[in-house]
Chain A
Amino acid sequence: METLLQQIINGLSLGAIYALIALGYTMVYGVLRLINFAHGDVYMLGAFSGYYLAHALGLDGNPSVPGAIVVTIGAMAICAVVGMLIERFAYKPVRHHPRLTALITAIGVSLLLEYGGQVVFGATPRFFPQMIESRTYALGGVQITNQNLLIILVAVVVMFGLEFIVHRTRIGKAMRATSYNLQVAKLMGINTDRVIAFTFALGSALAAAGGVLVALAIPRIDPLMGLMTGLKAFVAAVLGGIGSIPGAMVGGVLIGLMETGLSATAYSTYRDAVAFGVLILILVVRPAGIFGSTAVEKV
């Protein structure tokens, strides 16, 4: 019973990270119908921005909570700008091309960030500074570190914040309109270019937050860290129903729970395959995902 609870806690914190990244996939897909393959690499950039910021602020060795908050917000800002730049210089020129062209471009951007990262940051893993002193709380036999607690808390806060932005603000309304029909939204006077840029900025900032949080809990960062995590987060978005914000959250948590659940069994070596097995299963059983609605294809 205790091990089960322990696994659930671990799964929740892993799932919260997938959820944070999945939100970015789902938002961009909702607006542009594009799988932004580079999103996982923006998450990696977030971790590296955090790394350099923490070193610049001298947080290496003397942990402080306000410093950690500054680093996180700084990394989010950097990645928001990077996300907008990617959209402006890579995706915007191919927006009216066939979707395949956009997809290949996205893969190109992803490769550029990964291998560019290897050239700039070096291929060997870096160790992220301990910005927050590690503490472990024991609740009736179940252990939880303050970092894992923080990850879950931040994910929940972000989820509510995002729901607020999308459903209660002007730009959120514009996002929903663009996602519903880009052409018509444009005709109604919505500056869709700005909405798309904002979507990219928002999604990238969330991925950056995920990157810094992960680096706090598991301080090994390398330029390819976003590849697998990004793909699994995408699966999470599809599982929850791509285009749906609560779906991304639920999908992320489910994938996290399944992975940690499998790690505890004899099949732990198959851990990396579980997300893709789930993906194939969901495409057979319910392609729209848990929260998605089946849309009728129109000509």
Chain B
Amino acid sequence: MRKIKFLAQVDVDTCIGCGACQTLCPTEAARVVEKKAQVDESKCVACPNCSDFCPVDAITMVPRAEPRIVYLDYSRVDPDKITELCRKANLHPHQWGCMCNGTRVREVAAAVLLGAKTLEEIALMTGIRSGCTAYCVHHMLRLLKAHGVEVEEPKNHRWYNSIQTIWETPKEVEEKYPGHFFEEDRKIFRKF
């Protein structure tokens, strides 16, 4: 669950329309329209990317009048289907999907099963990708892939489709790198 207490606010006089905010916004709330950045209040999850990366400091995070709660009630989805999708993705439902706001993988899986097809949609449904915006990308991509959803990598560097795991590491590579506990670590994940 994510309690969103702040909102990105653009100083349009300072904004130079470079698009850095648009590139890095995890929910596509920030967009450049007619050479000026705009922020969709309904989509902003108050991660600090836009304000941190703005080269001219045109964006500040201001308190919202009322915090917005973003939470996906995963009980809406058949728990067996959640488990099945997680198994396919080699993820545990209780695992952290987002450590920043305590969202578990089961919520992300539920979002995918409810029809989310992009990282941005999952973020808007669950509140994931609203903190560091970094580590949660991995879970989302694995679950989308396991559900058969083809993702299109953005043209900019918002994220790259790179999700290697211990499960696909070729045997010959493991043999080339002895002493890295591949099978022992797989056993930990197999306890699920």
A and B: real partners?
Answer: no
State the A residues within 8 Å of B (CB): none
State the B residues within 8 Å of A (CB): none
